[in-house]
Every structure is written in C-alpha cells, then in structure tokens.
Structure 1
C-alpha cells in the first residue's frame, strides 16, 4: 500500500468492480451505496447490451440521492475496449464537477480490468485527457461466483459460444476471461458463499490464492460487504498489480523452496535447456495433470528452433502461440538492427554459448502437486541424447501451425 501525498489526497478516488456475468457485482454495488456513511458518490455502470439492466437495478436500489449524486449509463459496448474513450470523457467530467467524494465503476461482466486500470494511469494524447491528474485509482475489485466458478473455469466454451462476445473479433475463452479478472485485482470477493459447502469454499479460496497471492480475499453472501473493504483502501499500485499474478511471482523468485504452504498451494518452475520433441510434447499436453490449476511460460520445441513458443493454461484450456524469435536465431544484420551491435546486446540469465537464450521455462501452480512426477513426465518429452545429435527437421511435428 502506497503512502499518499497531499496532492494525491485531493484527487477523487475511484473503485472499479469487475467479475464475470452473474457474479453479483450489481448486488454488491447496491449494498455499498446503501451503507457508505455519507460519501457523495458518482456511479458509472457499463453494460454490453443496448438496454443497461444493471443501471436500472442500481437506480431502483435506492442507494443514490437523486439530487446530489449521479448515475452514468455506458451501454452497447465495453469500457475496456469500444467505450474506453467514453469512459475517459465521463470520468474527467465527473471529476471536474468537484461535487463528488467518490466514483464507483461497475464494468461489464466480460470486461478485463487491466485496460480499465490503464485508462487512469496514462495521458490520452488524442483527447488530451490525463485522469491521473484528476483521479486516484484506489482499488480494483474482482467478484467471483462461488457456486459457478469451477463450472466456468473448466469449460472449453468461448464467450461467443455463450453469445456473450464483445464483437466479431472476440474469440476469448470463458476460462481465460475469468483468469484475467482474478489475476489483476487488489480485492477478491467470493460471493454466494451460502450456496456451497465449507470444503468447496476452502478449495476455491486455495485456488484463487494461487492465481492471485497479493489480493485480499473476502467471503460474502448476497453481496453484503463492508464498504471500507473496497472504498478508500489505498491498495492500488499499477506496478504491483501488473506483476502480482501467481505465475509472475513464481518466475521472479531467485530460488524456489518446496512448499506445503499455509493454504495448501504449491508451485514450481520447470526449467530446461533441452528442446521438446513435438510429438511427445503433444502427448504430454493431452494427458494434463489435473492438479495444475494454472501454468504459463515459454517453450523450446526442436522443430521450431528459431521461434519461442508461448504457453498458457487455465483449467482445461491450453494454448500455444508464437512468442517471437529467439535472440540466438537472429542474423548478425538483425542483431545490429535491433540492438545496435552484432556482439554487444542484452543476454538473458539463461543464456549460454551453445544455444543462446533458447529455454523452456514453465510455471506450475496447483493444489497437491507431485512436483517430481510432473517434472519426470516433462523430461520424458525432451529430446534424448541421440535425438540431440540427429536432424531435428526430420521429426514429425503435429503441433498447431502458426502464421
């Protein structure tokens, strides 16, 4: 938590509520509005559809004064993408009115919190708006539905499959949206706790702590939370929030101490300077260890020796995508172009004279992980000593082709 200067204290604080559709954001918002101890509040409610149902619920909730306060509806789009410019203008206008103590924003259920947070931290040169001079982003809150979380986390469906996509180019999976919302927040509210058992709650809280170890976790039912838990918390720090996801924290550790942590979470980094055989890697991905909740990192595959491959897993979803060329694969001319020198350029901690920066580095986060078993199974997908000396281009490669 950062210490605020007098200048920062004069800025109007902002709390943003995110969370998947049906998690209970509007119920929480109405409860806070009815229990905020005299704060004059402006509320922005974002809804993807043309009819802003959530705004109607807030209006009917009786928590806003119809004379002293303001409810702004932002409909038919998402404030993290298509309505971002509108959000800038609305927040600037509300802040310049200087008659509100607080701004509360409820994002649409398919919105990602990171782009919304960025809106408050940079100057929009096109519109000439700098919200960081007028507002102080106080807290990013993500609401999780305790009853439906595992069903949504373990689905292969996309938002389009559920008719919830933001537009023609929106190909996001439901699980990846959930993960984005959980991994970027200051406070995690587990709502609808009355609908699941204590054992299920413990399992859920354990998984969420693995995904986002920095966040304060609050259990609630029917959206009843103490307003002090999400208003004027002084919790938000963009740099901390950007690197607070569990997989990032694991990668940044200087060394790993095997854990049977307080909450039953374990995590480790798998690091090897030997490439995967593409066929054996695909077989390994097809027999994914169920205890791994989240995995992310970079892979070196023998048949794609010039290209780093990005890997991301959450729930049952596993994605491979190109992550760019290895530095060691660049020509002398390309190194001079990118770094100004053929020989003098930044080298990664994993650099060696033979293979350069080529490496597999994967973070595994889960509950009850058998680290040795997972490591052994991954090692079996690497090239053998004989294969290392053979022609890698001759290996059959059934992995997805990239553009």
Structure 2
C-alpha cells in the first residue's frame, strides 16, 4: 500500500484488523485518509460497517480509488458481497481482488489446518491477480515450485512477482479497462454478479416463487424490494445457502438487488426479473 501511495492519486484506505488495535495504519502517511475497522472481519462481523464506510466515501466524492486491506482470514466472496451491496453498487466500479502470497511460507501451508488451507486456496482462486511477494528470500527452485502449485490451484489467474511489496497502479491495472467487466456482471473466474433495479413494487408471491426456484449456482442475493400489497414499505431481502431472510426497514432505499453466483445465466435471470416487474 505504501508503494501505491507514491503515485499521484486520490486514494482512500480502509484497514481491517481482526484484533482491537489497528497497527498497520500507523505506517501510512498522515496525509492519507485511513478508515479503520477493528475487532472483527469485514467479510462477516463488520460487513455492514464496511458498507457504511464505502457509502460515506462515495458521497464525499473526492476519491479515485478505494483500497481495502482485509484481515488475512477474510473470505473474498463475502468481501465481494459487501462491496456490491445495493446501497453502494452504483457508486463504484466492480471491485478487483488482489491476493498477496508470501513466497517464504506458501510451500509450508500444509502445516496449517484443513480449514485454513482451504481458505488460503479460496483467496487465491477468487483473486483477479496474485502478487507473489518476498521472492528475494527464496531460491529459484522454490519459486518454480510456487508457480507450479499455483498452476494447479488457479491456472488462469495472472501473477506479479515482487519484493518488499513494490507495485504500481499501472502494473496492477486498477483502471480495469482491459478486463472483462460490464456494467451488469463481474467475472471472477466463474464467479459473476449482476444488479437489477425495480421501477416499483412487485407481486410478493411471484417474488417468493422466483427466490425458491433459484439454481444452486446462486450463492448470494441481497437487496431492497417493495410489494404491491404494501407499496409504502421497503423490505431488505437476503438469500444465502438456499435460505431466504427478509424484513421491513425504516428508510427509503433504491429498489435494487444484487445477485452473485457461479456461471450465472444473467440474461435468463434478468428476463425473469422483468416478468416479475411487469406481471
């Protein structure tokens, strides 16, 4: 992050520390605005706080890039869900995930628990680019082994080799102009997301039927809907692991939903939502 801040860019940083004290923020220049989220993980405990921080940054409007340094135990899918919350999805470009790999420890990951290794590999699989750091501290043979193992875990994901975390905005391609991103969905090597905004209230039963018929490839759905039998009430609706959850919220928000899943047929889902809207 310190290397990125050397560029003449308007950058804001959100630091996430699982403990009760944010140590890393102290290494950032006082000229840079740092938002600290401590005592939890932005992918679960602090997910809503992250949404609030991003919304505040967006409304202030004096920023080109937002860098979120998540705690090492954060699951990237949950982070992606938070960054595409319906409250903020229209303020930002789709997020890009950079995985940072410690070259000195990667080959020894088998020493950790099965759950930890699984999380590490998920973090790599869901990255748009993997930064292999500390390559000056390993042999050429070890680096070759790392490349080979990454090829088995996530062969299609580009890597960037560095020392002391030295990178640049240009090399990391934060402008996303060359990536396969449209205004409706984001490719994460099989993971896609799409947004849909209703123009008004919809039929409650038809919406429930739509939810219950969602394919298993849909991992998350979150958003705000209004029903025709209660047109003045806005419901916050969430769907995860096949289970829906919803309730009335006491505020006016756009009737937007975000759907995230694996190999989504976005055109088919959009057609279904159009039918909901106009039936």
TM-score by length of 1: 0.44
Write the distance in 2 (CA, Å) between the matches of 1:135 and 1:236: 16
Structure-1 residue corresponding to 2:147: 205
Write the distance in 1 (CA, Å) between the matches of 2:36 and 2:180: 25
> In the alignment, is residue 240 of structure 1 matched against residue 187 of structure 2?
yes
- Contact residue 80 and residue 95 of structure 2 kept, 8 A: no
Structure-1 residue corresponding to 2:105: 148
- Contact residue 144 and residue 191 of structure 1 kept, 8 A: yes
Structure-2 residue corresponding to 1:96: 59
Write the distance in 2 (CA, Å) between the matches of 1:242 and 1:118: 16
Gaps of 5+ in 1: 1-28, 124-128, 159-172, 245-403
Secondary structure of the corresponding residue to residue 123 of structure 2: helix
Structure-2 residue corresponding to 1:120: 83
Give the superposed CA RMSD.
2.2
- Contact residue 186 and residue 214 of structure 1 kept, 8 A: no
- Contact residue 94 and residue 186 of structure 2 kept, 8 A: no
1:121 to partner: Cα distance: 2.7
Write the distance in 2 (CA, Å) between the matches of 1:233 and 1:77: 30
- Contact residue 84 and residue 119 of structure 1 kept, 8 A: yes
Which one of the candidate residues 74, 80, 84 is aligned to 2:47? 84
Write the distance in 2 (CA, Å) between the matches of 1:31 and 1:120: 24
**Residues 142-185 of structure 1 deviation map (CA, whole Å, 9 limit, x = unaligned):** 00000101112x12436xxxxxxxxxxxxxx2211111110101
Which one of the candidate residues 8, 17, 31 is aligned to 2:3? 31
1:120 to partner: Cα distance: 2.6
Distance of aligned partners of 1:51 and 1:116 in 2 relative to their CA distance in 1, 3 Å threshold = same
Secondary structure of the corresponding residue to residue 133 of structure 1: coil
Secondary structure of the corresponding residue to residue 189 of structure 1: strand
Larger radius of gyration: 1
Which one of the candidate residues 57, 66, 70 is aligned to 2:27? 57
Write the distance in 2 (CA, Å) between the matches of 1:109 and 1:183: 15
1:233 to partner: Cα distance: 3.1
Secondary structure of the corresponding residue to residue 3 of structure 2: helix
Write the distance in 2 (CA, Å) between the matches of 1:139 and 1:122: 15
TM-score by length of 2: 0.63
1:72 to partner: Cα distance: 0.3
Aligned length: 188
